[in-house]
Amino acid sequence: MARKFLYLIAVLAVLVIAAIFVLRIWQNELTRFAFVPRVAYGRLEPLPADAYAGNRMWLARPGLKDDPAQWVPAGAAKGQGRAAVFFIHPTSYLARNSWNGPLDDNDTNRRATYFVQGMASAFNGQAQVWAPRYRQAAFGAFLTDKAEGELALASAYLDVRQAFDAFLANVPQDTPIVLAGHSQGALHLMHLLKDRVAGTPLASRVVAAYPIGWPISVEHDLPAMGLPACAKDDATGCVMTWSSFAEPADPQLVLEAYRTRPALDGKAKDAPPVLCTNPLTGTMGGAAPASANLGTLKPAADLKGGELIAKAVPARCDEKTGLLMIGDPPDLGPYVLPGNNYHVYDIPLFWSNLRADVTRRAAAWEKQHAGQGR
pLDDT at 26: 38
Q: Evaluate whether residue 3 is within a structural domain.
A: no
- At 3 the pLDDT is 46
User: Is 371:275 a contact under the CB 8 Å cutoff?
Assistant: no
Q: Residue 34 has what pLDDT?
A: 58
> Taking Cα atoms as reference points, which of 198, 190, 183, 197 lies closest to residue 217?
190
Predicted confidence at residue 60, as pLDDT, reads: 98
Q: Is residue 4 part of a domain?
A: no
Within 13 Å and on the Cβ side, how many CA atoms surround 289?
A: 1
User: Count of alpha carbons within 13 Å of 81, Cβ hemisphere only?
Assistant: 29
The secondary structure of residue 140, as a DSSP letter, is G
Q: Does residue 2 belong to any structural domain of this protein?
A: no
Contacts of 295 (CB under 8 A, 6+ apart): 75, 76, 308, 309, 310, 312, 351, 352, 353
28 is a domain residue: yes
CA angle at 77 for the pair 276 and 124, rounded to the nearest 5°:
55
pLDDT of residue 21: 31
- 184 domain-assigned: yes
Strands 315-317 and 287-288, bridge-based pairing: antiparallel
Q: What pLDDT was estimated at residue 327?
A: 98
Of the candidates 258, 179, 171, the one whose C-alpha atom is nearest the C-alpha of residue 225 is: 179
Segments forming the whole domain that contains residue 361: 10-368
Residues sharing a CB contact under 8 Å with residue 351, sequence separation 6 or more, in sequence order: 73, 121, 122, 295, 296, 297, 308
Total domains, the chain: 1
pLDDT at position 374 is 52
Peptide linkage before 248 cis (omega within 30 of 0): yes
Please state the pTM of the whole predicted model. Answer: 0.90
Task: Measure the CA–CA gap between 206 and 231, rounded to whole angstroms.
Answer: 16
* Sheet containing 324-325: order of strands: 244-245, 324-325, 315-317, 287-288
Regions of the chain where pLDDT drops below 70: 1-35, 270, 371, 373-374
Reduce the DSSP state of residue 54 to 3 states and report it: coil
What are the beta bridge partners of residue 297? Answer: 308
Q: Is residue 58 part of a domain?
A: yes
Q: Is residue 104 part of a domain?
A: yes
Asked if residue 62 belongs to a domain, the reply is: yes
* Cα gap 327→77, rounded to integer Å: 29
